[in-house]
Structure 1
Amino acid sequence: MTRLLTLFLAGSLTLPALSQNNADNYFKLNRTGFNQKNAYTTTGYVEQRWRVPGNTGFNESIYYVEKILKNAGFVLQKENEQEAPMTYRLETRPLKQDTWEPIDASATIEGESTPLIAFKTNRNMIPINCPSTNGNVTAEVVYINKSEISKIGTMDLKGKILFSETSAGSLLNQAAKAGVIGVMGYNLPAYTQPEKHQTSIQFGSIPSKSTAWAILLSYAAKEKLKAACQKGKTMVNVNIQTKSYPSTELTLVANVRGSVKPDERFVYSAHVQEPGANDNASGVGCLAEMARLYASLIKTKKFSPQRTMTFLWGTEISATQRYIVEDSVRAKGILWGMSLDMVGEDTKKTGGSFLIEKMPDPSAIWTRGEDKHTEWGAGDVKEENLFPHYFNDFILDICNQQGRFAKWTVNANPFEGGSDHTPFLRNKIPGLLMWHFTDVFYHTDNDRLDKVSATTLKNVGVSALTAGMTLVNADENTALAIAKTVAAAANTRMNAEFLLSQKAVKDGKDLTQEKHILETWRNWYVTALTTIGDLPVKKETTRVGSNLKFLVLDLEKTTGDMLEKLGK
């Protein structure tokens, strides 16, 4: 045991544990009040709809959540969100291009009675923006290897269907010049295990106003069509029905006003578009139930918020980004952001685990030891992009408390990006992602309601709402408890990184670089600890500042000892 461990444990004895603070009471309220059946039912309603911003399925999902808010006691905002304790508003914006929605489709090899593929069983077979065929179309299918795509311009393909084992979008870019009427593509990543889940198709898109149509194939359909083409001339009958039309984009925003600092807030975001159940009907359903429960706690006076809580449903990333940047005064008061994306998974069916994607810390640059990226892949994080803050370890601690209570597995991954947490970070606001990965059904039409767990929805909802309630009403004891959590996390991390660097140096790695890694972690945690100073709604004494100063000095001194020992 290094000196760092001894010092931190000794220095932490005067700090209250978070479990002894208000969070315990919030956990009890939320575990009792969160109705997982409500969250699951909303998830099921949204999952049935193919959701693109502005289309029927997207709008119906928004209106369904609006009804939940109204029944919970939220009132329609007329002029500003401060006019009532609980308000909501529907923001509308004209779409720059027509929205799109699928109606029906099928593709059948001539001479066979059963479709090769059909929309009823594979609703991702039609890529977004795909035009209709205007009735049944029968044409010859020409199969080419991926290596031959560059030769498409020299081929006689007028009036034919081009088929290859590559993405339909990239295939279409080449094939349209050759006069094809349509393309059939296949492109599934290995983590979806297509040879095992042979009916899966990941949704995709093609450029709007394309003159040729496209069909996305499952592994089973691809293999069958390929075998037919290799036997000889293959004719396929295709019927695609879609529609495009001018529309407006909806964003739903609900607020519960804080009584002490109403301009400071915690913002939750769940995106509505994408056609899956876990991605992201689960986020919509979980957040809707969180908002309903929160309103109930307010109305029954079981909780009185001192800062504002905001719930947002809209288009992924862009709706959150607009919420932050369209009102500079409001943006200054956003203290925390959280994205709920793919939060209801039955991991026995989907694989992977529940994850907290951390704000950028050094593990996003030096991913080693127990840290690992998901199959999503690492983001482009440099040292100047690191975001030191207590939010990472606080949220992990809250989720782990729920995990111990409910026997629910909680893990974390280094920052990768790609969801509604990124606009917060882009605008220098602490933001985290709650999600699951790797999911073998990710973005596929097998991401259906049977892959969703009502129990997981509750675990995520209880954790997320407990965290928000703790922070919007944070007092000095809350700050001291979080300081203890962050100090313990720093202790664990520095010990782990020291051992990794010690081994790296013995294995011949550069000593200067290994010292730099330890110094970067130290600096990250020093700054993370100092951010706790602004947490209490009211500053009553100097206890928080004094304890933080003590912990920072401990961290700096013991890291110095580590750096000295590393070079010997």
Structure 2
Amino acid sequence: DVVNVESYAFDPTSEIYQAHYNDVYSLGATPGDTDDFVKKMSGWINEKDSGGTRVNVFPYGEDPGDPRGPEAHLNERAHLATNAGFNVTENELEAIRENPGDVRNLVAGKTGEVVYVGNVSKYTGDTSELAGKILLCDSSNRTNFDFAQKVGAVSVMTTAALSNFSNPIESEDWYGPEGAVADWYTEWYDGENEWYTDSARFAGGRGADANKKAMDAGKPIVEWNISPDQYNALRTLIDRGYTVKMNVATVGEMYEMSGSHPGAQGQLTAIAEIKGSNPDLQHERVVLAAHVQEPGCDDNATGVALNLELAVKMKKLIDDGKIARPERTIVFMWGDEMSFSRLYLNAHPDEVEDIICCIDLD
């Protein structure tokens, strides 16, 4: 009777996510066939009416506050922070591999009381009372993880990943259209108006190595990025004196990529090159880079699409004789932000000085 916020949490790379949305949206994809799922989901997202309007995205209107199409619901969930820990046991994980569709009945998770601690670096309460708790925080997950590990908490949650360009508000530094008023929602604490209250960003956590170490010690800390309405719902319940308990169950595993980073996942980087035409200059490179791990239109789906369009169109113009092949080599790269740049530079130490320019398509 106090709040009514329904939250979801799915890893879009997992079989569980595919099974869920294959059922919810009646996609008809072959169970366990990722390529077929991607094809069917893409077809569903891009389904259009006779006028060319995508029917599953904005069937009711594109203005902030308008009722949104079912595709918008894909973001109405909490997101695990990048490289967050998993709290399933080995026996549970093995059972899930055999029957991924029955995960709810196979995972016990960890249940704890939700406690609001604000910015953990400024917390003045009794930390001895936070063991086994789930912490609602105002600081970054990297900081929250260290604090939770110190006090013995089992999970942390924050909206700190939501910067203004991802969650515009009606204020002096608001990034929305001039004159637009998002009066459909009044923020509960500072009186400002927000737009995307049901959106949670994919963002980083403490890191794979730290999380794997905690998991191996039997004390995993699950890090969540949550939406403003999830945060406000929890804060309201706690502030009004309710006891909030939450069951946190996270499914997954970490594996060794290299000896120096035992918890790191593999870094897949796509690279395409248009070879330079001048033998004396083709060793020099102009690099265009776009990071793929954040799915928002501002950050960074548009950069990914632009990089692909530039590569395809430049090749076609050269093949058709419309423009000359450039004298220097043009490199198009897609990968994990920051990491793929370092990986490329580390893999080509003798060629670094030959990179004359990089355009960051963020």
Question: TM-score interval w.r.t. the shorter chain?
Answer: 0.5 to 0.7
TM superposition shift of 1:332: 3.9
Task: Name the residue aligned to 2:308.
Answer: 288
> Is the Cα contact below 8 Å between 2:287 and 2:333 reproduced in 1?
yes
Could you tell me the TM-score, scaled by structure 1's length? 0.36
Distance, in Å, in 2 between the alignment partners of 1:241 and 1:175 is: 17
Matched ranges for 1:113-512 at <5 A: 121-134=75-88, 135=107, 136-146=109-119, 149-152=122-125, 154-187=127-160, 188-189=162-163, 192-193=167-168, 195=187, 196-197=194-195, 198-207=197-206, 208-209=211-212, 210=214, 211-246=220-255, 247-260=265-278, 261-305=281-325, 306-324=327-345, 326-327=347-348, 330-341=351-362
Letter in 1 for 2:112: A
Shift of 1:279: 1.6
Structure 2 distance, partners of 1:221, 1:295, is 46
Report if aligned partners of 1:139, 1:161 keep a CA contact under 8 Å in 2: yes
Cα distance between partner residues in 1 of 2:244 and 2:11 = 32
Provide closer, same or farther for how the CA distance between residues 250 and 259 of structure 1 changes in structure 2, counting only shifts above 3 A.
same
Distance of 1:147 and 1:336 partners within structure 2: 41
Rounded Cα–Cα distance in structure 1 between residues aligned with 2:241 and 2:341: 52
The residue identity in structure 2 corresponding to 1:310 is V
Q: 1:330 to 1:238 in 2, by over 3 A?
A: same
Larger gyration radius, structure 1 or structure 2: 1
- Residues 105-127 of structure 1 deviation map (CA, whole Å, 9 limit, x = unaligned): xxxxxxxxxxxxxx954455321
Once the two structures are superposed, residues 74-128 of structure 1 have per-residue CA deviations (whole angstroms, 9 ceiling, x without a partner) of: xxxxxxxxxxxxxxxxxxxxxxxxxxxxxxxxxxxxxxxxxxxxx9544553212
Distance 1:147 1:340 in 2: 34
Is 1:49–1:275's contact at 8 Å kept on the other side of the alignment? no
Q: Report the Cα distance in structure 2 between the residues aligned to 1:326 and 1:159, rounded to whole angstroms.
A: 43
Answer yes or no: is the 8 Å Cα contact 2:78–2:227 preserved in 1: no
Q: Say whether the 8 Å CA contact 1:152–1:174 is kept in structure 2.
A: no
**Distance of aligned partners of 1:308 and 1:230 in 2 relative to their CA distance in 1, 3 Å threshold:** closer
Conserved 8 A contact 1:50-1:275: no
Cα RMSD between the aligned structures? 3.5
C-alpha deviations, 1:125-161, integer Å up to 9, x for none?
3212223343354332223454895445543233322
3-state DSSP class of the match of 1:293? helix
Q: Which has the higher contact order (CA 8 A, sep 6+)?
A: 1
Hey, what's the Cα distance between the residues in 1 that align with 2:249 and 2:12? 15
SS in 1 for 2:282: strand
Q: 1:202 to 1:248 in 2, by over 3 A?
A: closer
Q: How many residues align?
A: 231
Q: CA deviation at 1:190?
A: 5.4
- Determine the structure 2 residue equivalent to 1:345: none
Give 3-state SS (helix, strand or coil) of 1:226's partner: helix
Give 1:164 deviation, angstroms: 3.5
* Structure 2 counterpart of 1:79: none
Amino acid at match of 1:222: Y
Following superposition, the deviation at residue 214 of structure 1 comes to 2.8
Deviation at 1:168, TM superposition (A): 3.8
Distance 1:147 1:174, change over 3 A: closer
Shift of 1:326: 4.1
The answer to whether the 8 A contact 2:77-2:227 is kept is no
CA distance 1:176–1:149, change in 2 (3 Å): farther
Q: Distance in 2 between matches of 1:147 and 1:182?
A: 13
Cα separation, 2, equivalents of 1:148 and 1:266: 43
Unmatched tracts of structure 2, length 5 or more: 1-9, 19-33, 39-72, 89-106, 170-186, 188-193, 215-219, 256-264
1:139 alignment partner, SS class:
strand
- Give the Å deviation of 1:170: 2.2
Which stretch shows the higher mean deviation, 206-215 or 149-158? 149-158
Query: What is the distance in 2 between the residues matched to 1:145 and 1:328?
Result: 44
Q: Distance in 1 between matches of 2:239 and 2:116?
A: 8
Distance 2:121 2:352 in 1: 51
1:236 Cα deviation (Å)? 2.7
Q: Report the secondary structure of 2:204's partner residue.
A: coil
Q: Which aligned runs of 4 or more in structure 1 are off by greater than 6 angstroms?
A: none
Partners of 2:290 and 2:303 within 8 A in 1: yes
Contact 1:152 1:175 in 2 (8 A): no
Q: CA deviation at 1:321?
A: 4.1
CA contact under 8 A between 2:112 and 2:134: conserved in structure 1? Answer: yes
| CA offsets 1:14-51 (integer angstroms, 9 cap, x no match) | xxxxxxxxxxxxxxxxxxxxxxxxxxxxxxxxxx9968
Mapped to 2, the partners of 1:233 and 1:324 lie a distance apart of 53
Deviation of 1:282 after TM superposition, in Å, equals 1.9
**Percentage identity across paired residues of the two chains:** 28
Q: Which amino acid aligns with 1:185?
A: T
Q: Deviations over 1:36-67 (max 9, x none)?
A: xxxxxxxxxxxx9968xxxx9xxx99xx9xxx
Q: What is the deviation of 1:237?
A: 3.1
Q: Is the 8 A contact 1:138 1:235 kept in 2?
A: no
